[in-house]
Amino acid sequence: MAEFLWLDLETSGLDPDREIILEIGVIIANDSKGGDFTETAVEQTVITPYDFGGRSAQQILDEMYPRVRDMHTKNGLLAELADPALCCSITEADDYFAALVPDGLPSIAGNSVGSFDLQFLRRHMPKFAARLSHRVFDVSTLLRAERTYGDSESFMNVKADAHRALADARASLATARAFVARRY
C-alpha cells in the first residue's frame, strides 16, 4: 500500500530564503486500490508571522508583492494572521506536522510540491521535511503531460481558486484521482 502526504503551503512570496510560510494544509492518504487515495488524516494550520533572514515578520509582510498581498487579502488569510488565537508558531507547526507523519516516510504529493513547497519546508520546517520521502508525486507533471500529449478536458477542470492551503491540497488530490480514473 502506498502512502502519500498531500501538501500545500501558502507563503508570503516565492523565495524560501526571503519569505515565510503563512499556512499549511496536509492530507495523508493511502492508496491500495489504484487511485482511491483514502484519507486518514486532514490538518490545516495558520502560522504566526515570524522574523526570518534578518527581517522582522512585519517587514516581510509589508514587502509582499502586491499580487500576493491581494490574493491573501481576498481569501481571508491576512485577516486570520492578525488573530493570534487562530495561529501557531512555526516551531509548533514543525513539531506538530513532524509528529503527524506516519513511519515509513510517505511520498509528498501536490501541485508543484517538489519544486516549491518542499523547498520551503526544508528551510522553515526541517523536522517535518526530514520525515518525508525523497519521492514526489507532483500533479503539475500530470497536467503538463495532458496539455502536451492528451485530451486535457477530462480532469484538468479540477481547480481551487481559493489559494488556501487545504483547499489547494484537496484540488491536487482530486486531480490525481481524476487522472487515475481516466487512465487506468
Q: Is 53 helix (H, G, I), strand (E, B) or coil?
A: coil
Instruction: Find the largest Cα–Cα distance for the chain.
Output: 50
Contact 73, 100 (CB under 8 A): no
Contact 97, 88 (CB under 8 A): no
CA distances to 4, 111, 123, 130, 151 from 32, in Å:
11, 22, 32, 25, 27
Q: Give the span between the Cα atoms of 168 and 152, in whole angstroms.
A: 19
Contact 45, 24 (CB under 8 A): yes
Instruction: Report domain extents, the chain.
Output: 2-183
Cite the DSSP H helix spans in the chain.
57-62, 66-74, 77-81, 90-100, 118-124, 126-130, 139-149, 165-183
**Predicted model pTM:** 0.91
Q: What is the pLDDT along the chain (184 residues), one digit of tens a residue?
A: 578 999 999 999 999 999 999 999 999 998 877 777 889 899 999 999 999 999 999 999 999 999 999 999 999 999 999 999 999 999 999 999 999 998 777 889 999 998 899 999 999 999 999 999 889 999 988 888 777 877 655 555 555 567 899 999 999 999 888 888 876 5
Task: Report the DSSP beta bridge partners of residue 44.
Answer: 25
Which CATH class for the 2-183 domain?
Answer: alpha beta
